Amino acid sequence: MKLKGKVFKYGANVDTDVIIPARYLNVSDPEELAAHCMEDIDADFTSKMQPGDIIMGTTNFGCGSSREHAPLAIKTAGVSCVVAKSFARIFMRNAINIGLPLLECEEAVEKTDAGDILEIELATGTIVNSTKNLTFHAKPYPEFMLELVSVGGLVEYTRRKIEARGK
């Protein structure tokens, strides 16, 4: 799968409270959550972004609460991928489980500016910054996580596991 979009870049420790503030957690509808995506760190995010655009953070992206509402809001808003130097672990699990692609790549984060266009090949982890004409290689997913991603997330993975047991 090839992804292409404009980069919205933020700093370190982008927490789940700024990705989707708790005042909106009294609903679980993905579309309603998406309407408030990134609201407390970038108030106009949803009006500025186009489907396919890419969020970039530095270290510990998605730290804080376990709320799956955070990756769900990002995915439903139309963000194609989040690239960071590192991710908080619950956010990483949640994103993988629901099929929001994440890539860890220090070099890409260091050499990319807000507004640059990235082209990403998920299977290989290749990131091309077409604005600056640079190519980066993200850390590959571990085999198990790749399997999870390739079947479309944890729900489908679990369904298949249960089906296999029944046979």
Q: Give residues in contact with another protein (CB under 8 A).
A: 13, 15, 17-18, 21-23, 25-28, 40-41, 59-60, 63-69, 71-72, 86, 88-90, 93-94, 97-98, 142, 144, 148, 153-155, 157-159, 161-162
Residue 23 or 137 having the CB closest to another protein: 23
Minimal distance, residue 58 CB to another protein, in Å: 10
Instruction: Supply angle C-alpha 160, 52, 17, rounded to 5.
Output: 80
* Residue number, 54 or 63, with CB nearest to another protein: 63
Shortest distance, CB of residue 160 to another protein, whole angstroms?
A: 10
Query: Going by C-beta distance under 8 Å and a sequence separation of 6 or more, which residues neighbour residue 156?
Result: none
Q: In degrees rounded to 5, what are phi and psi of residue 71?
A: -65, -30
> φ and ψ at 26, to 5 degrees?
-85, 5
In the bound state with another protein, the residue whose beta carbon lies nearer, of 18 and 134, is 18
Measured from the CB of residue 89, what is the shortest distance to another protein in angstroms? 5
Amino acid (1-letter code) at residue 109: V
Least distance (Å) between residue 116 CB and another protein = 25
Question: CA 164, CA 167: separation in Å to the nearest integer?
Answer: 5
Dihedral sign from CA coordinates of 125, 103, 45, 80: positive
Q: How far apart are CA 153 and CA 59, in angstroms?
A: 24
Q: Pick the closer one to another protein by CB: 5 or 101.
A: 101
Residue placing its CB nearer to another protein in the complex, 55 or 63: 63
